Amino acid sequence: MTTPRPAETGATAAAPTDWPLWEVFVRSRRGLSHTHAGSLHAPDAEMALRNARDLYTRRSEGISIWVVPSAQVTASSPDEKDAFFEPAGDKPYRHPTFYEIPDGVHHL
């Protein structure tokens, strides 16, 4: 190591930050909806957008980004899984499997 590192120039060693967690949603193309891409830490929303740009859109994955504080997401509880989701399991008539999908319709 031949160049001064932060620790040698007075900075304290990297400590865990208390930066909040953000959920990142990326829209890959016009016409598609934003899709959850992952999460990251950032001190505020503007920096979260920039971090998301660097982490999730470096390979042309997106044309638009949303960031949402993870703390603002209300999630269903695993304990409620049966009451929430199981009743739908035996109702095949709710699924759109009885329609012919016209040619040329994507993303349905």
Partner 1 sequence: MNITATPALPLGDDALILSHRLGEWAGHAPVLEEEVALANIALDLLGQARVLLSLAGDEDELAYLREERQFRNLQLVEQPNGDFAHTIARQLYFSTYQELLFDHLAATESELAPLAGKAVKEVAYHRDHAHQWTLRLGDGTDESHTRMQRALASLWQFTGELFEPVEGLETVPWSALHDDWTTRITTTLEQATLTVPEGPRHGAWRAGAGRQGLHTEPFGRLLAEMQHLHRSHPGATW
Binding site for partner 1 (CB under 8 A): 2-6, 9-11, 14, 17, 19, 40-44, 46-47, 50-51, 54-55, 58
Residue 88 near residue 94, CB atoms below 8 Å: yes
Q: Which is nearer to partner 1, 28 or 57 (CB)?
A: 57
- Whole-number Cα distances in Å, 108 to 62, 93, 96: 20, 17, 10
Question: How is the beta sheet containing 21-27 ordered, strand by strand?
Answer: 35-41, 21-27, 64-69
Of 55, 78, 66, 62, nearest to 23 by C-alpha is: 66
Report the residue number, 54 or 86, with the smaller CB distance to partner 1: 54
Least gap, CB of 45 to partner 1 (angstroms): 11
Q: Which is nearer to partner 1, 2 or 77 (by Cβ)?
A: 2
Query: In the beta sheet, which residues pair with residue 93?
Result: none
Shortest distance, position 78 Cβ to partner 1, whole Å: 28
CB of 29 to partner 1, least distance (A): 20
